[in-house]
Chains A and B, each alone.
Chain A
Amino acid sequence: MDTNLVRQVLGQKVQFIHGDMACVYGALLAGCNFFAGYPITPATEVAEGMSELLPKLGGRYIQMEDEIASMGAIIGASWTGAKAMTSTSGPGFSLMQENIGYAVMSEAPCVIVNVQRSGPSTGQPTLPAQGDMMQARWGTHGDHEIIMLYPYSVQEALEMTITAFNLAEKYRTPVLLFIDAELGHMQEKVVIPEDDEFEVCYRQTVTVSKEEYQAFRPGNNAHPDRLVPEFAPFGSGYRTYVTGLTHNEAGLPRTNSPEIHDRMIRRLCEKILANRADMTFFKESYADDCDIALVAYGITARACEDAVAEARERGIKVGMLRLITIWPFPEDLIQQWARKVRLMVVPEMNLGQMIHPIREAVAGQCRVVPLNKIGGEVHTPGEILEGMVRAIEREREREPAAA
């Protein structure tokens, strides 16, 4: 899609829009030309924005009968070569899980926006929560890796949606873009980037003849070591057979071969894990001058920024690590921080989800303390500061001799 045309359709360069709309803008700038979705609070505005803007750019919008169908439709579209996206929230995200696995298995690039709301079940439809963190990682059955990005501002939502498409295309895999319900409906300034300010990636197209083509053979003649296969869209004459069954490099079902399954699944995981450096995004503050760390993500990190500023004024040496890439989990990064702090405080709008992989990575090198809040309200900076101070005091009581 011509980015100049996209900018023309988006209008003014500086705007005041909500997070849901920022995802729409990002998607269009990334070249998204297909959207299928189903209305759900608080993600409906993504679908509404797409339904308005996509046709102006020649793209296709369709409202499906449910989220299962939406996920199916974007995979179908992806196999015609489209850059496809859907958006949803908790209940819909649950329904999408099986087909997300299909996208992983069939290496169909696509982007799924989940505007996180409170659950389980219908929960608090309009209110924010961060309860889908583990579902994002393990929601679909079977061994797999998933990429998930979690922006915390309207501007970052735009930028990370572009990145989500780029990663989906490069690694031929579904990418999850999470924002909080709070951000989805929160308006903030956004500056629409110029072409030289962002990259747009496309899946590797086929370079071999039809005779030589194997749809799921990783790499190509020039780059045999690449873990991602080349792509020939439906209708190109390459006649690709795509199945969710375990398949060989030609795409044909081979369900009884332990070797083929092992080789295939390990490659699907490895194509993501081997490229962590390309997909791990985070922000640090006071990283070299702290003995306590706040580790946060999404909207919660905004309250943390205020809390850090206040704490530093009070002489508390706290630093902050904000995770933008949630999955694949940045273990090395957590380990680096664990080596330099004595205490890690993890505020989450759930009863403790990301604290588990954090603890696993920390492996006892420092104390890790949860700071959980549920009920539909974002932690206030005061609550975070207070929770942090409490954790510090408890830490002192625990180690009187060392202090």
Chain B
Amino acid sequence: MKQEIRICGFGGQGVVLAGHVLGKAAAAYDGLTAILTQSYGPEARGGAARTEVVISDRSIGYPRIVSADVLVAMSQEAFHKFREDIREHGIVIVDPDLVIDHQVERKTYRVPATRIAEELGNKITANVVMVGALTSITEVVTRDAMMQSVLETVPARFKDLNRRALEAGFRAGEEARSVEATLALTGE
């Protein structure tokens, strides 16, 4: 098993943190191997941000992803930039409110992470909602591992908020999965 996951959006959305909790869930709590790489530089503030996580049940040599198995896009710009670079059997997870045009010939899951986060009271947790959805859609890591990873990463006073965000994300992922399955059946 080797999964190459690219999470992208714009600066300030906590894209790298999303990658970090994902990699940590896999490496520290699920007994898998994970590597996170990131783009870095003046573009780290605002503009496009991205992080890439490779997860495997074996050791990982080359640290970069070659082509994405999973693309998580949280901005239109990022989606356009990376939609060409997805494996044939790869999938796409988008926040449909931010990535309005998300036409791509890949299985696509729509997770309104920012809206869900806002409903929970703080849109800063959209990234955590998104990794929750990613977890239940891909099952690349277990929910327990992801929960531990998130709670070990965020400051104590934000633990509760993030727990709720992650649980909402798990549910949103399930919903997106069933919607996608229905769409597939109806041939859309």
Q: Is the CB of B63 within 8 A of A125?
A: no
Main SS at interface, chain B: mixed
Does A187 reach chain B (CB closer than 8 Å)? yes
Specify the chain B residue showing the minimal Cβ separation from A14. B28
Q: Mark B9-42, 1 if CB is under 8 A from A, else 0.
A: 0000000000110011001100001111110110
Cβ distance A319 to chain B, nearest Cβ, rounded Å? 15
Contact of B28 among A15, A182, A381 (CB under 8 A): A15
Residues of A in contact, count (CB < 8 Å): 24
Q: Is the CB of A303 within 8 A of B61?
A: yes
Does A305 reach chain B (CB closer than 8 Å)? yes
Specify the chain B residue showing the minimal Cβ separation from A305. B61
Q: Is the CB of B62 within 8 A of A187?
A: no
Does B152 reach chain A (CB closer than 8 Å)? yes
By a CB distance below 8 angstroms, the chain B residues around A189 are: 27-28, 33-34
Q: Is the CB of A186 within 8 A of B28?
A: no
Q: Mark A77-102, 1 if CB is under 8 A from B, else 0.
A: 00000000000000000000000000
**Residues of A108-148 whose CB lies within 8 A of B:** 125-126
By a CB distance below 8 angstroms, the chain A residues around B19 are: 187
Cβ distance B151 to chain A, nearest Cβ, rounded Å? 12
Cβ distance B33 to chain A, nearest Cβ, rounded Å? 7
Q: Is the CB of A187 within 8 A of B61?
A: no
Contact of B62 among A12, A126, A188, A381 (CB under 8 A): A381
Does B181 reach chain A (CB closer than 8 Å)? no
B residues neighboring A (CB under 8 Å): 19-20, 23-24, 27-28, 33-38, 40-41, 59-64, 66, 149, 152
Q: A16-B24, A125-B41 are in contact. List 7 more A-B contacts (CB 8 A).
A: A12-B28, A126-B40, A185-B38, A186-B37, A186-B63, A188-B35, A378-B64
Q: Give the 10 A-B residue pairs with the shortest CB-CB distance, closest first.
A: A16-B24, A189-B27, A187-B36, A305-B61, A306-B61, A126-B41, A303-B62, A302-B61, A14-B28, A126-B40
